[in-house]
């Protein structure tokens, strides 16, 4: 097959029911959907129908994976997400590590898994040698041991994604994971893999990846990496992130191939004594994993396991393949609430004691194996509270929507500080998605909180603020200038504009999120708006503005002649296609989007220094108007929240409008 720059040109199709393995070309998809999240959505649209019972599981890389492009080694997992509520909406997740590059070295840009095997199997890929092999002897093992056994059996350099016992038993909060902690965490896709009796995918590749302009891509990559290494808030020079006090041979560890920086929130530890298991533990810890030790007795996350026990419990959760976020941000606080309010003091005979690491270990085992009431918790905290009838009102405070605990929204998540009016942007993103949207859309939250006077703790009592280059933060006036430059208005980053301009920011970041997940690249690094390395804090490198780093890397790698506007327009196309999937399959409408309103009309969690330390709540009418503004910008009907034909045709999604029209007709006849 003739090489295409950036991609390797082939998609692998595996029918688990029949054992048939086939290949198709990637090329027809790349111009309109790039890779990762974009191509996954297009494949799902083509494979399934509204009446289909097909449940494909898709793994897809992107044109930057396996190249020298920094932060480009991620993989997208997509399908009908078991964690979704009230429907198993089509959704996606991503993971890092080195698996994406290995898959491309083997000659494949992505894998589509169809059907279900009659017995446990794993998929072995060694370049073009692809086969399903018996996994009965590794079924029942954890993710760590599964990887070790398959590397011993196949090749020590094989890269493996696998599920643990939670996925085997179809827990809705089970993950797909590679290495020691890089996981597709949200979505419950481990359950979909378990449903197919697919234990693991082991890949070893020795082939090349061709890029259009190797010297230009190398030049861009070095410049961007160096800028982000010195300028990112999450580099060692930055002042954001969690630092452990115990060393245990601690070292910086890239959670994604070609990361290029030592991230303050990502480390590898060796020989940590495990009080629960009695083992010396080694592994990667990042993102929410440090939360297992607790955030301090005065914190909302006030359990006090300590580092050693926390690391041990985190490793147990990783091995079983259980979603960390679901544990920290909903299940454990909910159980604590049940205990403190006399609703329930035990769980399946276990005394609820969040300071006892053995309680955590026993609880995790019950979830992974669906033992006793663990069978209910395996459905996720939201479904469990509803089924058991325990502290239902409290669980509503923790879950923003769609079966996912809050994240950067000012309400459920008590670790990421964001205040009104900035969480209105997050609320819009939550409203129109099918999952936690912030995992690939931190940009606005970081801009408004981490780079503003709110983070620097200077006087924010006046509209001018008092930002200071000396502490790496911008004034409100500087942020409003940037808002106009990025979002087209000064209101999006104006703390006193309230609802004004927020729809523009939500739209911009939603489109950029789809681009990032299609290349795919690290969400914390892109889009690169700001930099500690620049006197004006505006990211730039080698003549490139940070806001366009993704475009420069894409064009150098692929050689595709696409304007910046056309490139970012692909993100809009992807978002509309995903919306079309929701409408076709589950009649998604404005009424669904508005289900976020009761959550955000609760008072925000954080005292708001912009408004005399009050706790502000959203106004229902104002938010509905904001949602209408977002729909208008999207080209969606204000009444239904659905794309109109002109929007779909403009985006090249021809034929989709007719399918949605037929879906609406069916909906009307059923009503």
Residue 18: predicted pLDDT: 96
Residue 256: predicted pLDDT: 82
Number of helical (H) and strand (E) elements in the chain, helices listed first = 26, 21
The pLDDT of residue 652 is above 80:
yes
Strands 121-126 and 198-204 come out as: parallel
Residue 468: predicted pLDDT: 37
How large is the average pLDDT for residues 44-52?
91
Residue 469: predicted pLDDT: 40
Structure tokens at 277: 């298991």
Confidence of residue 3 (pLDDT cuts 50, 70, 90): low
Q: What is the distance between the alpha carbons of residues 452 and 56, in angstroms, rounded to a whole number?
A: 43
Q: What is the distance between the alpha carbons of residues 269 and 285, in angstroms, rounded to a whole number?
A: 8
Residue 518: predicted pLDDT: 98
Identify the residue whose tokens are 């017995």.
119
Question: Do the beta carbons of residue 148 and residue 319 sit within 8 Å?
Answer: no
The pLDDT of residue 248 is above 90:
no
How large is the average pLDDT for residues 260-281?
84
pLDDT tens digits, one per residue of 501-528 = 999 999 999 999 999 999 999 998 999 9
Q: What is the distance between the alpha carbons of residues 460 and 611, in angstroms, rounded to a whole number?
A: 9
Residue 464: predicted pLDDT: 34
pTM: 0.95
Residue 238: predicted pLDDT: 59
Residue 261: predicted pLDDT: 79
Smallest Cα–Cα separation from 359: which of 380, 382, 332?
332
Which domains does the chain possess? 10-204 (3.60.9.10), 243-378 (1.10.569.10), 419-527+561-670 (1.10.599)
How large is the average pLDDT for residues 284-288?
82
The pLDDT of residue 5 is above 90:
yes
How large is the average pLDDT for residues 555-572?
97
Residue 243: predicted pLDDT: 46
The pLDDT of residue 205 is above 80:
yes
| Helix ranges, 399-450 (H) | 423-432, 443-445
% of the chain beyond a pLDDT of 90: 79
More confident residue, 440 or 197: 197
Residue 462: predicted pLDDT: 30
Structure tokens at 548: 């366009």
Question: Do the beta carbons of residue 187 and residue 403 sit within 8 Å?
Answer: no
Tell me the Cα Rg of the chain. Answer: 24
Residue 254: predicted pLDDT: 75
How large is the average pLDDT for residues 33-39?
98
Q: What is the distance between the alpha carbons of residues 347 and 332, in angstroms, rounded to a whole number?
A: 12
Residue 467: predicted pLDDT: 35
Residue 138, number of CB atoms within 10 A of its CB = 21
Residue 662: predicted pLDDT: 79
Whole-number Cα distances in Å, 385 to 240, 381, 390: 34, 6, 5
pLDDT tens digits, one per residue of 521-545 = 999 899 999 888 888 889 999 999 9
pLDDT tens digits, one per residue of 393-444 = 999 999 999 999 999 999 999 989 999 999 999 999 999 999 999 988 999 9
Confidence of residue 236 (pLDDT cuts 50, 70, 90): low
More confident residue, 283 or 406: 406
The pLDDT of residue 385 is above 60:
yes
pLDDT tens digits, one per residue of 441-462 = 999 998 899 889 887 443 333 3
pLDDT tens digits, one per residue of 50-108 = 888 889 999 999 999 999 999 999 999 999 999 999 999 999 999 999 999 999 999 99
How large is the average pLDDT for residues 358-385?
97
Low-confidence winner among 166-170, 358-362, 523-527 (lowest mean pLDDT) = 523-527
To the nearest whole number, what is the mean pLDDT of the chain? 92
Residue 457: predicted pLDDT: 40
DSSP-assigned states of every residue in 397-412: HHEEETTEE--SSSSS
More confident residue, 373 or 469: 373
DSSP-assigned states of every residue in 623-646: HHHHHHHHHHHHTB-TTT--B-HH
More confident residue, 241 or 486: 486
Confidence of residue 663 (pLDDT cuts 50, 70, 90): confident
Smallest Cα–Cα separation from 197: which of 365, 16, 19?
16
How large is the average pLDDT for residues 5-13?
97
Confidence of residue 147 (pLDDT cuts 50, 70, 90): very high
């Amino acid at each position: 097959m003739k090489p295409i720059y950036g991609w390797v040109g082939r998609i692998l199709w595996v029918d688990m029911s029949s054992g048939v393995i086939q290949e198709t070309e990637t090329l027809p998809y790349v111009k309109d959907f790039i890779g990762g999240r974009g191509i996954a959505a297009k494949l799902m649209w083509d494979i399934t129908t509204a009446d289909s019972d097909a449940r494909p599981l898709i793994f897809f890389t992107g044109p930057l994976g396996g190249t020298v492009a920094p932060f480009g080694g991620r993989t997208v997992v997509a399908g009908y997400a078991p964690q979704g509520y009230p429907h198993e909406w089509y959704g996606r997740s991503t993971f890092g590590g080195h698996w994406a590059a290995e898959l491309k070295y083997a000659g494949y840009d992505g894998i589509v898994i169809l059907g279900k095997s009659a017995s446990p199997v794993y998929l072995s890929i060694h370049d073009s040698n692809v086969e399903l092999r018996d996994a009965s002897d590794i079924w029942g093992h954890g993710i760590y041991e599964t990887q070790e056994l398959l590397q011993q059996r196949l090749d020590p350099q094989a890269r493996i994604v696998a599920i643990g016992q939670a996925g085997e038993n179809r827990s809705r909060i089970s993950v797909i994971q590679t290495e020691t902690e890089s996981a597709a965490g949200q979505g419950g896709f481990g359950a979909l893999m378990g449903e197919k009796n697919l234990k693991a995918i082991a890949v070893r590749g020795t082939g090349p990846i061709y890029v259009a302009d190797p010297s230009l891509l190398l030049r861009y990559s070095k410049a961007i990496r160096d800028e982000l290494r010195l300028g990112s808030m999450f580099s060692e020079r930055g002042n954001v992130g969690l630092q452990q006090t115990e060393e245990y041979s601690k070292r910086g560890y890239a959670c994604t191939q070609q990361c290029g920086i030592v991230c303050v929130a990502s480390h590898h530890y060796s020989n940590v004594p495990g009080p629960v298991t009695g083992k010396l533990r080694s592994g990667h810890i990042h993102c929410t994993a440090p939360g297992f030790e607790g955030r301090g007795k005065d914190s909302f996350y006030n359990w006090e396991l300590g580092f050693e026990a926390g690391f041990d419990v985190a490793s147990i959760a990783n091995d079983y393949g259980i979603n960390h976020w679901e544990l920290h941000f909903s299940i454990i606080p909910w159980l604590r609430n049940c205990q403190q309010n006399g609703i329930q003091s035990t769980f399946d005979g276990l005394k609820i004691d969040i300071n006892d690491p053995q309680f955590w270990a026993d609880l995790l085992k019950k979830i992974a194996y669906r033992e006793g009431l663990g069978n209910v918790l395996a459905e996720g905290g939201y479904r469990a509270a509803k089924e058991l009838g325990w502290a239902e009102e409290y669980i509503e405070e923790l879950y923003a929507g769609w079966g996912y605990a809050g994240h950067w929204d000012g309400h459920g998540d008590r670790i990421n500080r964001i205040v009104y009016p900035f969480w209105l942007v997050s609320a819009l993103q939550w409203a129109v998605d099918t999952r936690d949207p912030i995992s690939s859309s931190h940009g606005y939250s970081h801009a408004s909180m981490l780079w503003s006077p709110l983070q620097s703790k200077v006087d924010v009592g006046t509209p001018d603020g008092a930002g200071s280059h000396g502490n790496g933060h911008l004034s409100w006036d500087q942020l409003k200038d940037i808002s106009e430059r990025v979002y087209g208005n000064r209101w999006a980053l104006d703390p006193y504009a309230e609802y004004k301009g927020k729809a523009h920011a939500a739209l911009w970041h939603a489109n950029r999120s789809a681009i990032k997940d299609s290349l795919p690249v690290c969400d914390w690094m892109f889009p690169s708006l700001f930099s500690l390395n620049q006197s004006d804090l505006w990211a730039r490198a080698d003549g490139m503005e940070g806001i366009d780093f993704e475009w420069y890397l894409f064009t150098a790698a692929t050689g595709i002649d696409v304007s910046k506007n056309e490139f970012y327009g692909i993100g809009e196309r992807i978002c509309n296609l995903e919306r079309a999937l929701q409408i076709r399959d589950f009649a998604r409408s404005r009424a669904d989007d508005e289900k976020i309103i009761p959550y955000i009309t609760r008072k925000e969690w954080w005292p708001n220094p912009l408004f005399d330390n009050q706790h502000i709540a959203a106004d229902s009418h104002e938010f509905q108007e904001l949602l209408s503004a977002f729909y208008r910008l999207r080209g969606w009907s204000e009444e239904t929240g659905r794309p109109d034909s002109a929007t779909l045709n403009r985006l090249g999604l021809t034929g989709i409008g007719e399918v949605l029209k037929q879906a609406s007709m069916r909906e009307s006849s059923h009503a």
